[in-house]
A and B are shown apart, each in its own frame.
Chain A
Amino acid sequence: TQLLEQSPQFLSIQEGENLTVYCNSSSVFSSLQWYRQEPGEGPVLLVTVVTGGEVKKLKRLTFQFGDARKDSSLHITAAQTGDTGLYLCAGPQSGGYQKVTFGIGTKLQVIP
């Protein structure tokens, strides 16, 4: 079974601070996705990383895929209250049908 471990599980920071959250596995993934889920809503896809070492930027969010495609990180610069939410990483399971393994997530709270 391919597992994705996310750390930290909880993070509370002041507005304007920088932060990094991590998604790690002992398995190689062909790609990893990051989702953000606001309270009471469904997850929304932020980005997909496919190539080892790839870096993608989405405004103040920077996503990196590890060289060995076993891990990924999400860095947020100058966090805003609108960044509050649950950040999930996910990767495709082997075996077809496009089943996905999800991490438990990092719950981020940005305090004004």
Chain B
Amino acid sequence: DVKVTQSSRYLVKRTGEKVFLECVQDMDHENMFWYRQDPGLGLRLIYFSYDVKMKEKGDIPEGYSVSREKKERFSLILESASTNQTSMYLCASSFHLGGLTYEQYFGPGTRLTVT
């Protein structure tokens, strides 16, 4: 079974702090994604990576950065946390099949609260 793990299930940080969220997948997937999920807004893509050291901005990259130094690990960084970044953060991975399915496998999520 594909397993995607996230470093924390719950996190409380103060405004202005630098926050690191880590994601690890064990299935040798090329693609990794970071989303945030908010009520009424659904899943929104922050950043994704299709290879080691490669990254692409998603729909809402402002205030975030990412790092992918190893294939299995994809980190999301909040440079200076703000209250509007309080959200559920979801990491996902997928094969680069070149086919039709685009199935994504998600971690359990990190509920981040910024006070």
Q: Is the CB of A97 within 8 A of B103?
A: no
A-binding segment of B12-20, B40-48, B67-75, B79-87: B40-48
**Residue from B40, B58, B106 with most neighbouring chain A CB atoms (10 Å):** B106
- Contact between A41 and B109 (Cβ–Cβ < 8 Å)? yes
**B53 contacts partner chain A, Cβ-Cβ < 8 Å:** no
Interface size, chain A (Cβ < 8 Å):
24
Please name all residues of chain B whose beta carbon is closer than 8 Å to the beta carbon of A99 when the two chains form the complex: 33, 45, 48, 58
Residues of A within 8 A of B (CB): 30-31, 33, 35, 40-45, 48, 50, 88, 90-92, 97-100, 102-105
10 contacts between A and B (CB under 8 A): A31-B102, A42-B4, A43-B43, A92-B100, A97-B31, A98-B104, A99-B45, A100-B104, A103-B42, A104-B40
